[in-house]
Amino acid sequence: MTIRRPGPVIRHGRHHARRTALAAVCLGGLAALTACGGGGGDVSGEPSGSGYTMTAEPSPTETTAQVTPSVAETSAPTEEITDESSDDTSFEEDDSAGDTSSDSSGEEDTASGVPRGRWTGTATISVGFADPGCAEASESYELPATLLIDDPVGGEENGFHLSWASDSQTPAGAFGVTSALDGTDTVDGEPVAISYWSLSDDGSGDISGSLTDSGAAEGAALNQLFVPKPILPCSQYMVFPYGMATGTTLEGTVTEDSASLTLSGTSLDGTRSFRVEWS
């Protein structure tokens, strides 16, 4: 029965009209079936040998008939593919483990003893006014401020990214300091990357730095001081943002539990000098 059942199935997968005529002849018995099988394209007269293995090159018309061999052949390549996939995965894991190790050590070197975190406190801002034609004056303000230290952003070459600002940017004396910018221009959608500050540390939490790029050329002077500016000569003052000039300095100490910083410099137009102390 094993030989007789697939015989007609194979021929059903080939030429339907010729197979219908051959079926009548094949009903005579096993000998007639063998003869019909040979007439279907197997000159050896062995249907089980030629109709069910993939060793023989099948003609294009016999492809549909070889369903069973296709399943058998598919299982073998599937196992090979699975092995290859698992091999690739193991290699990727090994490479990944190596990269993670090197990245971790690199991060430790980059950190240089400056902890990452968030600190809050009260900043004292002292400002000197030297508007042309006006008497020199000074003012002092106290505002709550927040310090954030994180990993460097974009192409920043510092060992850490620093952001320090008063909690509100609207009152007189408000200020904002950021060591680098990695963003997108809101006008043309182009990427913008600026390293404002050059920062260093001694490995134990003491930091120092200098403002090396004000960002004024790019229209992105984000290191700013918000202090009164006269609308009329020497009168009618209104809070106005002043960009910090290059050469402004920053120094202090940052530990896991506390932070103290001092910022001092002048505005881009030279009419404002300032000193910000925070502990």
For the stretch 260-278, pLDDT in tens is 999 999 999 999 999 999 9
Q: What is the pLDDT of residue 23?
A: 41
Q: Which residues contact 251 (CB under 8 A, 6 or more apart)?
A: 206, 207, 208, 209, 261, 262
| Residue whose structure tokens are 């009419």 | 271
From the list 71, 69, 64, the residue with the least C-alpha distance to 16 is: 64
Q: What is the mean pLDDT of residues 85-98?
A: 40
Beta bridge mates, 111: none
Q: What is the pLDDT of residue 11?
A: 43
Alpha carbon separation from 15 to 5, 59, 60, 64, 185 (Å, rounded)? 17, 13, 12, 11, 69
**Which pLDDT band, with edges at 50, 70 and 90, does 241 fall under?**
very high
pLDDT digits (tens, 9 = 90+) for 126-157: 999 999 999 999 999 999 999 999 999 988 99
Residue 183 near residue 195, CB atoms below 8 Å: no
Alpha carbon 278 to chain centroid, angstroms: 35
| Average pLDDT score over the chain | 74
Q: What is the mean pLDDT of residues 93-97?
A: 41
pLDDT digits (tens, 9 = 90+) for 147-199: 999 999 988 999 999 999 999 999 999 999 999 999 888 888 888 899 999 99
- Listed by start position, the domains of the chain span 6-65, 117-278
Q: Which residue has the higher pLDDT, 158 or 11?
A: 158
User: Rounded to the nearest 10 degrees, how much is the dihedral formed by the CA atoms of 14, 16, 20, 26?
Assistant: 10
Q: What is the pLDDT of residue 86?
A: 39
pLDDT of 4 strictly over 80: no
In angstroms, the CA 127 to CA 38 distance is: 106
Q: What is the pLDDT of residue 212?
A: 98
> Which amino acid is located at 204 in the chain?
S
Q: What is the pLDDT of residue 128?
A: 98
Alpha carbon separation from 29 to 16, 25, 33, 234 (Å, rounded)? 21, 9, 6, 121
| Residue whose structure tokens are 């003609």 | 59
| Residue whose structure tokens are 């402004």 | 248
Indicate the pTM of the whole model.
0.60
